[in-house]
Structure 1
Amino acid sequence: MNNAKLNIIAWPDQSCPDIVHPLIELVKNVEKSRVDLPDLNKCSGPVVVHCSAGIGRTGCFIALSNGIKQLDTEHTIDIVRILCDLRRDRGGMIQTNDQYQFVYQALSEYARTLQSSS
């Protein structure tokens, strides 16, 4: 089994990164690695995301990943629906208002990059 561990060390618990672009790039790179290595994906299983409690930073990463996929495929986004779906699966995902605002800001910036490139 092949696996890789990626660690973000500049993201304190119950807070947000100072800038959104590195996290957007990380999410895109994780997805790109899955697409570029389809045979490996059959053996490697899902992407596992975790933080200390498994709901704050983890929720932000997953919400951002789901939002980027939705923007790429549907060219629209429903952030509230993404959050509700996450919280249905695991209560408390995205712990703070700041984290919610961070996800919103990151997805807004990603949407702007899509608009400017088309």
Structure 2
Amino acid sequence: MIFKMILAPVKTHKTDDVVDAAKAAGATGASIISARGTGMREAKTFFGLTLEDQTDIIMFLLEEHLVSEVLKAIEVAGEFHKPGTGIAFVLPVEHVVGLESQIEKFKEVVRDKYL
């Protein structure tokens, strides 16, 4: 099996929508890391203190055939067409361990989808 990872840094108020949309498109789960980010826009200041928007980095480990559909769902749910809402990108995954209990489920999904 070939796996890919989608990383999607998004604003925290969009996290649940993005995860729900990804699951509806075929993702089986996600890992979420709290973070801070900086972008093209300067951070807002208030009495000399910098106010930074919190960001969640959502990680999805997917079989390769699910990537396009899940990525599109993330884009729509995250409203990436609006500036500053988030991005998503795909990385190759060389090796995976710890999925032994899920391999049969992956095979079932593939059989059901393609046979």
TM superposition score normalised by structure 2: 0.29
Which of structures 1 and 2 has the bigger CA Rg? 2
Considering Cα pairs closer than 8 Å and 6+ residues apart, tell me whether 1 or 2 has the greater RCO. Answer: 2
TM superposition score normalised by structure 1: 0.28
Higher strand share: 2
Higher helix share: 1
